[in-house]
A and B are shown apart, each in its own frame.
Chain A
Amino acid sequence: NAGVTQTPKFQVLKTGQSMTLQCAQDMNHEYMSWYRQDPGMGLRLIHYSVGAGITDQGEVPNGYNVSRSTTEDFPLRLLSAAPSQTSVYFCASSWDRGPREQYFGPGTRLTVT
């Protein structure tokens, strides 16, 4: 199993540009989530999904959209990038919505200039 994969690993955007961060898992996990990691702060939840077709907002959802058309994929869309979205983004998955072991992707380092 590849586990949780994320692309790209690095990305530089100009303010106002849009892009999609890709996340996929091959473990048939129902629960998937996106976090951002900023210096001096713990990871913060952006959006999550408890199954295909079901998504919900986390702690810091503004400026981001998600969709979950399949169990495997959970892309994160930046609609109009802002410098405040410069961060490292991690996708994670687990078996279901209960307290389960979390599997993280390798991360995407995004810089918005």
Chain B
Amino acid sequence: KNEVEQSPQNLTAQEGEFITINCSYSVGISALHWLQQHPGGGIVSLFMLSSGKKKHGRLIATINIQEKHSSLHITASHPRDSAVYICAVSSPGGGADGLTFGKGTHLIIQP
């Protein structure tokens, strides 16, 4: 079973700061997902990637398959970015056995 570790667990930053959240996993994967969960809210998919880098607005996700590591970056952070960010991985056999999730990073952006 894949082990997914996220760091940091909690992060408080000031508006405008550059944010980095890290994710590492223990065995090979077919894809890595970054998800966002607002307090009391549902879960939204931000990125799915299997190599390289993806960008959407102020969010950037990178993955290094050889090092089994991914990062989520937020540029020019804003209080509305406050949420729990969750890393999840899909097994090489496909999604039949679901995703394996990290415990999440609780991000607070202060004005």
Contacts and interface: CB of A to CB of B under 8 A. Distances in A.
Contact of A97 (B44, B94, B104): B94
B63 to A, nearest CB: 13
A69 to B, nearest CB: 20
Contacts of B48: 99-102
Contacts of B79: none
Interface residues on A, range: 20 to 34
A103 B44 CA distance: 7
B97 interface: yes
B97 A101 contact: no
Interface string B68-111: 00000000000000000010101000111111111110000000
Interface residues on B, range: 20 to 34
Given A42-B86, A99-B30, A48 B44 contact: no
Contacts of B90: 99
Interface string B42-54: 1111001010000
A97 B95 contact: yes
Interface of A: 31, 33, 35, 40-45, 48, 50, 56, 58-59, 90, 92, 94, 96-107
